Chains A and B, each alone.
Chain A
Amino acid sequence: MKRGLRIRWPAAHHRLLCLILLAGLLLMGLKTWLVLTLSGLAMGAMLFLMASGMTLAFGLLRVLNLAHGALISLGAFAGAAWWLAHAQALPHEAWRQWLALLPAMLIAMAVAGLVGALFERLVIRPVYGDYLKQMLVTVGGAIILVQLLQGIWGASPIAVPRPEVLRGSLIVPQAIPWLGGLALEKFRVLSAACGLVIYALVIHGLEHSGLGIVIRAGVEDREMVEALGLRMTPVFLAVFVLGAMLAGLGGMFWGFYQEMITAHMGDELLILVIVVIILGGLGSVRGCLYGALMVGLVNLYVGYLLPSLASVAVVGLMLAVLMWRPWGLVPVAEARTG
């Protein structure tokens, strides 16, 4: 291909995201738009955490894991359990509270990862390659996990108060023109930042590590990697556990976001998660991020402008994208994941 002057259109997922942002800006005031956009990004970041594991599991393992929602709940409960046990005793200095969030995150990831490992080994490995059995078995597994959660923590919702440092908002100083007085909720800033950092880490790992190349190659053609001489079983396990850990982390954030957890929260989120990964293109991590951001933004914009349509809007977005791009925004065949 000769290099010449050629105007390059931005990729489809960039165009659509810009379009959504712009439409929002035109339909509401700047300040409202900024607040809603931040909330949308925060929601998108959490959805990305929850959905990325499922899209990778589908892309590489060819497993549609309908128990992914249960892993989300599990992470939320594990993180919250540690947090509730220690929240009272926390000193009030801000940095100690920040520090206390870290073990909660690690515990949520560790528990979800551990159960994910058992789940892959006991439930999913026997049904590789058979979609129908996978659906039945993973739904069964999800029911067992959710019932276990209910058995331990009860069926009624549990309140999870946010840490003090994460309550309230950052206020933009009045001196700044147009934006003065704008209140940005701290927790949303944190979750948006956290989601983007993890996205960067995952993409960097996929692009530059040896395991990353194997995963990308395996998403494209698993048998071919085996023909080169690599047993994929340990890779599958690693990817599944990684996905479960991210789901657990996302679940914990979602618990703080809603300040409330139930054993069924994951099942309810699973619908949004499935919309996100189909929208982004099954198996594509980059598509997953863009899908999640769009779902978050559309959900909040429409919720503000036309509240009665909020729940339909996200599904409408998915249908529109699928009619335009049947393989999702970033189809795996051409996904360069980064």
Chain B
Amino acid sequence: MHQHVGRRAALPARGGRPGDRDLLAVHDLAVSLGEQVIIDGISLTFEQGSLTAIVGPNGAGKTTFFNLLSGQLQPDRGVIRLAGADITRMGMPERALAGFGRVFQINQLFAALTVLENVTLALTVREGRLASPWQRADQRHDVLTRAMACLEQVQLAGLAARPVRTLTHAARRKLEMALLLAQDPVVCLLDEPTAGMAVEEVPAMLDLVAQLHQSAGRVILLIEHKMDVIRSLAQRIIVLHQGRVLADDTPARIMASADVQAVYLGEPGA
């Protein structure tokens, strides 16, 4: 993916203050659905190269927060900045092109397409290649090579020609990571990437998240319930509660915090 490094390195210069390492910043973000306030004034910043876990009881607003970041939902008030540029009013496709990538809590793949076609689609959309839609998709050599590279990274190359609907759940989750790699986002929103996976499959997925983190300069946000997963990956934990930031600290201090204990113990089963 060397051709994308230039794009990513260039990003902070675009309207950002020099020397500013905060890639993603939200200020006073709020949204209500109907009568209910879901997100109630969140202000946060995320550094380049950081991996942050977002936790909180059910209904705390974690997924809604992701929807606001990805552009699926427009906030009632507040500002979202990517590398200093205001992207609050951008729609979902524009934000994806600006560098947001997402793995959903529930599997989001094209089941009727083959594994390879899924990745090819992500690559071609990413590069705006659809300007010439009549070009035969299966003959574009370089796109294919890079699609296969993404699949190899998640160890799915052997299943490239299989329709996605025939894959196991774990393989689908891996394919989602391959799509994310193909999109090469600067901000990765991972909504419970290990949800529904068998225990023995989890380490491979964590490895992929770690790889995504190592390849420099991204902001990774991770919604997760499993504390061992969080401990092994995140340097920072944000606890959401009733649409507000309850705590924002290192894993060790969060685990020790009395406030956090109270929130979780007050809600059995969360």
Contacts from A to B (Cβ < 8 Å) = 1, 205, 208-214, 216-217, 219-221, 223-232, 238, 332-337
Chain A residues with CB under 8 Å of B92's CB are 223, 226-227
Residue from the list A225, A333, A337 in contact with B111, Cβ < 8 A: A333
Cβ contact within 8 Å between B183 and A208: no
- Minimum distance in angstroms from B64 CB to a CB of chain A: 16
- Minimum distance in angstroms from B142 CB to a CB of chain A: 14
- Minimum distance in angstroms from B115 CB to a CB of chain A: 13
Cβ contact within 8 Å between B125 and A228: yes
- What are the 9 closest A-B residue pairs judged by CB atoms, nearest first? A229-B96, A211-B133, A229-B97, A230-B125, A217-B110, A228-B125, A210-B133, A231-B93, A226-B93
Chain B interface, number of residues (Cβ within 8 angstroms) = 37
Cβ contact within 8 Å between A333 and B93: no
Chain A residues with CB under 8 Å of B109's CB are 224
Q: Does B137 contact A (CB under 8 A)?
A: yes
Cβ contact within 8 Å between A214 and B110: no
Pairs A–B under 8 Å by Cβ, sample size 28: A209-B134, A209-B135, A209-B136, A209-B137, A210-B130, A210-B132, A210-B136, A211-B133, A212-B137, A213-B120, A214-B121, A217-B110, A217-B121, A220-B110, A220-B113, A221-B108, A221-B110, A223-B92, A225-B121, A227-B72, A227-B108, A228-B93, A228-B96, A229-B93, A232-B93, A238-B133, A336-B112, A337-B112
Chain B residues with CB under 8 Å of A212's CB are 137
Chain B residues with CB under 8 Å of A333's CB are 111-112, 165
Chain B residues with CB under 8 Å of A336's CB are 112, 163
- Minimum distance in angstroms from A337 CB to a CB of chain B: 8
Q: A269 to B247, alpha carbons, bound, how many Å?
A: 64
Q: Does B50 contact A (CB under 8 A)?
A: no
- Minimum distance in angstroms from A4 CB to a CB of chain B: 16
Q: Does B244 contact A (CB under 8 A)?
A: no
Cβ contact within 8 Å between A224 and B110: yes
Cβ contact within 8 Å between B97 and A213: no
Main secondary structure on chain A at its contact with chain B?
Answer: helix
- Minimum distance in angstroms from B2 CB to a CB of chain A: 20
Cβ contact within 8 Å between B93 and A332: no
Chain A residues with CB under 8 Å of B134's CB are 205, 209-211
- Minimum distance in angstroms from A227 CB to a CB of chain B: 6
Chain B residues with CB under 8 Å of A332's CB are 112
Q: Does B129 contact A (CB under 8 A)?
A: yes
Q: Does B85 contact A (CB under 8 A)?
A: no
**Residues 72-113 of B at the A interface (beta carbon under 8 Å):** 72, 91-94, 96-97, 102, 108-113
Closest A residue to B136 by beta carbon equals: A208
Cβ contact within 8 Å between A213 and B113: yes
Contacts A208-B137, A227-B72, A232-B93 known; 20 new A-B pairs at CB < 8 A: A210-B130, A210-B135, A211-B133, A212-B137, A213-B117, A213-B121, A214-B125, A214-B130, A217-B113, A220-B110, A226-B91, A226-B92, A227-B70, A228-B96, A228-B122, A229-B93, A229-B125, A333-B112, A336-B112, A337-B112
Assuming the contacts A226-B92, A229-B125, asked whether A209 and B133 have C-beta atoms less than 8 A apart, the reply is yes
Cβ contact within 8 Å between A216 and B130: no
Q: A229 to B122, alpha carbons, bound, how many Å?
A: 8
Assuming the contacts A216-B110, A227-B96, A229-B93, asked whether A334 and B165 have C-beta atoms less than 8 A apart, the reply is yes
Closest A residue to B138 by beta carbon equals: A208
Cβ contact within 8 Å between B121 and A228: yes
Chain A residues with CB under 8 Å of B214's CB are none
Q: Does B225 contact A (CB under 8 A)?
A: no
Assuming the contacts A209-B133, A210-B130, A210-B133, asked whether A226 and B96 have C-beta atoms less than 8 A apart, the reply is yes
Q: A212 to B108, alpha carbons, bound, how many Å?
A: 19
Closest B residue to A230 by beta carbon equals: B125
Residue from the list A205, A223, A231, A335 in contact with B112, Cβ < 8 A: A335
Cβ contact within 8 Å between A213 and B137: yes
Q: Does B166 contact A (CB under 8 A)?
A: yes
Q: A217 to B110, alpha carbons, bound, how many Å?
A: 6
Chain B residues with CB under 8 Å of A211's CB are 130, 133-134
Q: Does B242 contact A (CB under 8 A)?
A: no
Q: Does B126 contact A (CB under 8 A)?
A: yes
Closest B residue to A337 by beta carbon equals: B112
